[in-house]
Chains A and B, each alone.
Chain A
Amino acid sequence: MPAKGAVAAGNPLTAFLELRRSLRRAPLGDGGRDTCRALSDALDEAIAASFPEGLASELAVVAVGGYGRREQSLFSDVDVMLLHSGADLATATRALLYPLWDANLKVGHSARTVAECIVAAKESLETLTSLLSTRLIAGNGNLVGDLEAALAGMLQGRPLTSRLAAAERERRAVHNYPIMAADLKNGRGGLRTFQSFWWERRRAGLVGLPLPHQSTREEESAHRALLGVRNALHATAGKALDEYVPDLRDGAAKWLSSDPWDVSERVTKSLRTGDQLATERWPDLNIERATGSRWRGRRRRSPRPHGSPERPLARARAAAERPEGLVMGRAEQAAIAAWGSHDWTGDDRHDLIGLLALGSRGRAAMGWLHRLGWVDANLPEIAHTIAAPQLAPFHEHPVDTHLWRTVDEMRGLVSGGDPWYAAIAQEVANPDLLLLGAFLHDAGKALGGDHSTVGAQLAGSLCRRIGFTELAEPVAALVQNHLLLADTATKRDTSDRRVLAEVADRCHDLPGLQALYLLTVADAKATGRTMWTDWKATLLKNLYVRLVGVIEPEPRRVARSQRLQSIARFAAAAEDRAAAHVDAMPPGYLEGHSDDEIAAHLRLAAGLDGRESAVHILDGADAAGRMVVVGIDRPGLLGAIAGVLTIHNLEILDARLQARADGVACDTFHIRHTLPDVPMSPVATIEADLSAALQGTLDVASLAAEKAAPYRSRGRRHLVVRAPTDPTLRYTAIEIRCDDRPGVLSDIVQELYAAGLDIRAARIDTRGDEARDLFYVLDRTGEPIRDVNELAPLIAGLRSSLRRRLY
């Protein structure tokens, strides 16, 4: 017997091995199908030449698996089966398998009768799919015919699609995010996915059913490309290595007579095609249901009444938000595809932020929008990032995946996994800035030039074009500077005050630094495992701490005087009156409100003139915007406001409530009109209703409850009521979390009143579909409730009454 690895003279595999040696040096055709077929055919010839003629009636040697489909790669296993009807297997094995082993080939072999095949196929999906690829090499072809007939009978009552989709779901679970170093065979959207399409069609053919789907040119092109790159990896590594790892990319590109960027793009786009085709063909894949939304931002848009037209982003968001997982029906696809390029509305902007906040389901929905041509037509500034490769070894993902992962990492930072980052995020006035910055920070990639500068221009113009006018500059600054902190922390002397001053200047102010710091961390975490270590986290934190020390002390004092001037100008009032107003408000008021909001408070408070309340809408009167309400502070004020807004179809997205020392409440609400097709009520009407509610002539609680009734949640019926006891607080803090819907604030406030509580301040907020409200209350005597024996039954009672009222 020859030594292992050497081939004895006369071994029929000599030609195959010579062909493989030759193909390692240069491919046949495009390196894909042509190469695979040449290898398969050479193997066929060698195995057929070894067939023992004496067994021709009771034995067939068949190729199975990839070899069966003539997709044999350079160093793939040789999968053969001895299909027999009682043949002498010892003779067959010696004749057919020994030469393969002697040639040091890795052989996947089995010996079965038709009946044994069916038993094995019933037990294992892998065996079943392998048998679906059966191809006769030599011997009794009737046995193969019998096997196909038996398989057809077995498959009549056994759907295959759900099992293939389950396998695909497992592949996705391994890699939630598409990666650059993908496994081309078993990875997400890889060759297994394309083979699964083939198996579905093969089953239909065997059983005599219509094809579930046709093989498209797109599918075939992506499939061929992956076969070619897989062969290139085998040729470069000299073994069956299917992962597109950085070390092999240059060699693979050379083998394909191409360059690494082109080959990498071929890989990422082909994998994306496989992934998306699977999503389209197996709608119940629903892998994206795994992650939910937790975004501290504006409240989710309310469900629209039936019959309202849905814009593409709203449709995509609604599809992604379905409890059963992302489902995009054919009608929805057609409706989106029909839109083409369109102007952006406030709803579109709101839904874009909503999609970003949805995480993996939002990413999948955006994938649909891309497939349907919407991204190219309406977000052309980022269309080039989709499946664009990144060659630097530390980049784990294609560009668009990295952008989405950065968004996800940002959501993680904001939602409080690490209190250090969550506290910083809480200070960023507009959380949409963080999402947009994360989503656009690498928009300049794959275009040539300095990607930060190119990206800043793209991001700024995109924000302006789609109506994020106020965020255009801050987002562009974030994109321009997104490498600044990481580069400074690692490459510059951060103990040098000149360096710190220069970097601080580029950050502009503390909010600018905070947003940039969070983006830097999210970006590093999203890049890959090697880019985010405790070492780097410490370096960045040290730099951030030092920069805060440079930025914060002096600018804050300067800012106050500048802001007072600006407020006075807005309010057409003297600067000392603006200062007196600010000084009469609780700490943090100046920092927590914009100049125009404070000016509106000042102006309305001065103009109350005996009235109980006054209302002003600052902007966005058509669909969404800010509303300022000033009134004499008294129990029931917030309830009246919340109820009146509900009556007028205005949903409160978030709210900031304060009272001046002289008893004037100055409240600011982010509102959204829930019925955009119905004209919004005039401010005077809202003001009149609020006045009537405060005077008791309008039963606002009943009207609001009636208005909110159609929206009552049938969802998870989530409710948390708690009161952290802190004897140092001036007020008792009660936190309430529940499912979000229109009118929910009004309902909560009514229950707090019913419990005898006076709301002195509140923070109204939403994370995803959860309302998170914090109320600072006093009891009937005007004192905080500090005794836990008094507080516990109060909270239990609130919990019961709220559950009844909300659900």
Chain B
Amino acid sequence: MKLVTAFIKPFKLDDVKDALKAAGVSGMTVCDVNGFGRQSGQTEVYRGAEYTVDFVPKVRLDVVVDDTEADAVITTIEEAARTGDIGDGKIIVTTADQVVRIRTGERGRDAI
């Protein structure tokens, strides 16, 4: 099983959520995060002065999927979250050793 973690632009959350649901993903965890990548923050001009945001607000999305579905899920997120502009975010995939559904005690892919 894979844990797919994506860092996306906040306004893309609904698009990504809808695309993942359409692709059969039944659950996800979402949280608000701040960070920077190659973009190194963000600079604007506010009334003639420079206004810098060092850590840019992003949304982090975690989805656990079966190995066989991982590539499709990654592609789905990638396509739904892409604007083509700088700051579109990252997707990180790690191996999940075990998943447990607490209510029933199911394990492995049955618990996804």
**Chain A contact residues, CB within 8 Å of chain B:** 489-495, 533-536, 538-539, 541-542, 545-546, 548-549, 552
A-B contact sample (8 more), CB < 8 A, given A493-B83, A495-B83, A538-B55: A489-B10, A490-B13, A492-B11, A494-B11, A533-B32, A542-B42, A542-B57, A549-B44
Q: Does B102 contact A (CB under 8 A)?
A: no
Known: A493-B11, A493-B83. A549 touches B46 (CB 8 A): yes
Q: For B9, B42, B46, B55, which residue has the most chain A Cβ atoms within 10 angstroms?
A: B46
Q: Does A548 contact B47, Cβ atoms closer than 8 Å?
A: yes
Q: Does B33 contact A535, Cβ atoms closer than 8 Å?
A: yes
Known: A490-B10, A494-B11, A495-B85. A552 touches B47 (CB 8 A): yes
B 41-71 contacts with A by CB, 8 A: 42, 44-47, 51, 53, 55-57
Q: Does A538 contact B14, Cβ atoms closer than 8 Å?
A: no
Q: Does A545 contact B9, Cβ atoms closer than 8 Å?
A: no
Cα distance A539–B47 when bound, in Å?
Answer: 18
Q: Does A538 contact B57, Cβ atoms closer than 8 Å?
A: yes
Q: Does B46 contact A539, Cβ atoms closer than 8 Å?
A: no
Cα distance A388–B45 when bound, in Å?
Answer: 43
Cα distance A493–B9 when bound, in Å?
Answer: 8
Q: Does B10 contact A539, Cβ atoms closer than 8 Å?
A: yes
Cα distance A535–B33 when bound, in Å?
Answer: 7
Determine which of A535, A545, A546 lies in contact with B32 in the assembled complex, contact meaning CB atoms within 8 Å. A535
Chain B residues near A552 (CB, 8 Å)? 47
Known: A491-B11, A535-B34. A548 touches B46 (CB 8 A): yes
Closest to A544 in B: B46
Instruction: Give the Cβ gap from A40 to chain B, nearest Cβ, in Å.
Output: 36
Q: Which 10 A-B pairs have the closest CB atoms?
A: A535-B32, A545-B46, A545-B44, A539-B57, A535-B57, A538-B57, A492-B11, A491-B11, A490-B10, A493-B11
Closest to B12 in A: A493
- 8 A-B pairs with CB atoms under 8 Å apart are A492-B11, A494-B11, A495-B85, A535-B32, A538-B56, A546-B44, A549-B46, A552-B47
Chain A residues near B57 (CB, 8 Å)? 535-536, 538-539, 542
Cα distance A541–B55 when bound, in Å?
Answer: 13
Cα distance A492–B9 when bound, in Å?
Answer: 10
Instruction: Give the Cβ gap from B74 to chain A, nearest Cβ, in Å.
Output: 22
Cα distance A535–B59 when bound, in Å?
Answer: 10
Instruction: Give the Cβ gap from B35 to chain A, nearest Cβ, in Å.
Output: 11
Main secondary structure of the interface of B (DSSP, over half): strand
Q: Does A490 contact B34, Cβ atoms closer than 8 Å?
A: no
Q: Does A490 contact B11, Cβ atoms closer than 8 Å?
A: yes
Chain A residues near B44 (CB, 8 Å)? 542, 545-546, 549
Closest to B10 in A: A490
Determine which of A491, A538, A541 lies in contact with B34 in the assembled complex, contact meaning CB atoms within 8 Å. A538
Instruction: Give the Cβ gap from B20 to chain A, nearest Cβ, in Å.
Output: 17
Chain A residues near B85 (CB, 8 Å)? 495
Q: Does B14 contact A534, Cβ atoms closer than 8 Å?
A: no
Instruction: Give the Cβ gap from A116 to chain B, nearest Cβ, in Å.
Output: 49
Instruction: Give the Cβ gap from A421 to chain B, nearest Cβ, in Å.
Output: 14
Cα distance A535–B47 when bound, in Å?
Answer: 23
Chain B residues near A536 (CB, 8 Å)? 32, 57
Cα distance A549–B34 when bound, in Å?
Answer: 24
Q: Does B45 contact A549, Cβ atoms closer than 8 Å?
A: yes
Instruction: Give the Cβ gap from B51 to chain A, nearest Cβ, in Å.
Output: 5
Q: For B9, B46, B57, which residue has the most chain A Cβ atoms within 10 angstroms?
A: B57
Q: For B10, B45, B53, which residue has the most chain A Cβ atoms within 10 angstroms?
A: B10
B 8-47 contacts with A by CB, 8 A: 9-11, 13-14, 32-34, 42, 44-47
Chain A residues near B13 (CB, 8 Å)? 490-491
Cα distance A546–B34 when bound, in Å?
Answer: 19
Chain A residues near B56 (CB, 8 Å)? 538
Cα distance A614–B24 when bound, in Å?
Answer: 78
Q: Does B32 contact A491, Cβ atoms closer than 8 Å?
A: no
Chain B residues near A493 (CB, 8 Å)? 9, 11, 83
Cα distance A546–B56 when bound, in Å?
Answer: 15
Cα distance A505–B51 when bound, in Å?
Answer: 23
Chain A residues near B53 (CB, 8 Å)? 538, 541-542
Instruction: Give the Cβ gap from B9 to chain A, nearest Cβ, in Å.
Output: 7
Cα distance A51–B9 when bound, in Å?
Answer: 70
Instruction: Give the Cβ gap from B81 to chain A, nearest Cβ, in Å.
Output: 12
Cα distance A538–B10 when bound, in Å?
Answer: 12
Instruction: Give the Cβ gap from A302 to chain B, nearest Cβ, in Å.
Output: 39
Instruction: Give the Cβ gap from A493 to chain B, nearest Cβ, in Å.
Output: 5
Instruction: Give the Cβ gap from A414 to chain B, nearest Cβ, in Å.
Output: 19
Chain A residues near B33 (CB, 8 Å)? 535
Cα distance A493–B14 when bound, in Å?
Answer: 12
Cα distance A542–B52 when bound, in Å?
Answer: 9
Known: A535-B33, A535-B34, A535-B57. A491 touches B47 (CB 8 A): no
Instruction: Give the Cβ gap from A13 to chain B, nearest Cβ, in Å.
Output: 32
Chain B residues near A491 (CB, 8 Å)? 10-11, 13-14
Closest to A538 in B: B57
Cα distance A495–B9 when bound, in Å?
Answer: 11
Cα distance A548–B32 when bound, in Å?
Answer: 25
Closest to A493 in B: B11
Cα distance A546–B44 when bound, in Å?
Answer: 7
Chain A residues near B32 (CB, 8 Å)? 533, 535-536
Cα distance A495–B51 when bound, in Å?
Answer: 15
Instruction: Give the Cβ gap from A52 to chain B, nearest Cβ, in Å.
Output: 47
Cα distance A493–B15 when bound, in Å?
Answer: 12
Chain B residues near A546 (CB, 8 Å)? 44
Closest to B9 in A: A493
Cα distance A533–B44 when bound, in Å?
Answer: 21
Instruction: Give the Cβ gap from B65 to chain A, nearest Cβ, in Å.
Output: 26
